[in-house]
Amino acid sequence: MEGEPASAALVGGVAVLERAIAYLLGGLALVTPEALARPTPCAHWDLYDLLDHLDDSLAALHEAVDTGWVACDLATGVEAARRRAGETIIRLVRDRATRLLGGWANAGGAPSVRIDDEPLTAPLVAGAGAIEVAVHGWDISQALGRPRPIPPELADELLGLAVLLVRAPDRPGRFARPVAVPASAPPGDRLVAFLGRRPA
C-alpha cells in the first residue's frame, strides 16, 4: 500500500527516539535539586540551565507530533526568562519525556513536520530529537560525575544521523567544534566528540 513506506520510516524514527528517551530517563532518575548548580559539558550552562533547555526541546517535539508544525524560536530552544524550583524542573522534564513517548507512538503515518516554513519528514524530526535527547542525557551524567555511556547501538545510529544533520553553519553556534578521538573509540565517544564534547 502507498502509505506503508512512510509508516515504516516513522516507526524507525520513533524507535530511535524511544531508546534515546529511555537513556535520558535513566540519568534523570539520579538528579537531585542539590545537583542543579553543577557545571555541565555545555559551556556556560549549569545543570538547571541544561534541564530548562531540555524542557523546551521536548516541548518542541511535542508540538511537532501534535500539530505537524513547530515555531523556529521554540525549535531552537529560546526560553522565556524564568526560574523554577529544583524539584519542579526535574519533574517537568521527566514527565514531558515520558509523555513524549506516547505522543510519537500514536503519531500514525504523518509524513512531515514544518519547522516554520520548511517541511521535514517526521522520521527525520524524530531522529534529530533523539540526538538532542541522548546527548543531553550524556551531559547530565557527566554533570553528576556518574558517567553513563550512550548504548553503542544507539550511539552508532545517532552518529550516522548527526553527520547528515549537523552542518558547518551550526558551528560554533549550536555545537562546538568536533573533538578529535581515535577511530577505535566506542560509538558513544565518537558521537559526543563529533558534537563538540570531550569524552570522559
Per residue in 50-75, pLDDT (tens digit) is 999 999 999 888 888 777 777 654 44
For 89, counting Cβ atoms within 10 Å of its Cβ (0-12 exposed, 13-18 middle, 19+ buried), the class is buried
Q: Write down the pLDDT at residue 153.
A: 95
Q: Provide the grid cell at 183.
A: 577511530
Per residue in 130-163, pLDDT (tens digit) is 999 999 999 999 999 999 999 999 999 999 989 8
Average pLDDT of span 7-32:
82
Q: Write down the pLDDT at residue 149.
A: 95
DSSP secondary-structure letter at 46? B
Q: Write down the pLDDT at residue 105.
A: 65
Q: Write down the pLDDT at residue 12.
A: 64
Please give the Cα distance from 128 to 166 (Å, whole number): 10
Could you give phi then psi for residue 120, rounded to 5 degrees? -130, 150
The whole-chain average pLDDT of the chain stands at: 82
The pLDDT confidence band at residue 15, using thresholds 50, 70 and 90, is confident
Residue 6 confidence (pLDDT) above 60: no
Please give the Cα distance from 63 to 156 (Å, whole number): 27
Per residue in 62-110, pLDDT (tens digit) is 888 777 777 654 444 434 445 667 788 999 999 999 988 777 666 554 5
Is the distance from CB of 143 to CB of 35 less than 8 angstroms? Answer: yes
Q: Which CATH superfamily is domain 4-194 in?
A: dinb family like domain (1.20.120.450)
- What CA–CA distances, in Å, run from 133 to 56, 59, 170? 11, 12, 18
Please give the Cα distance from 193 to 126 (Å, whole number): 22
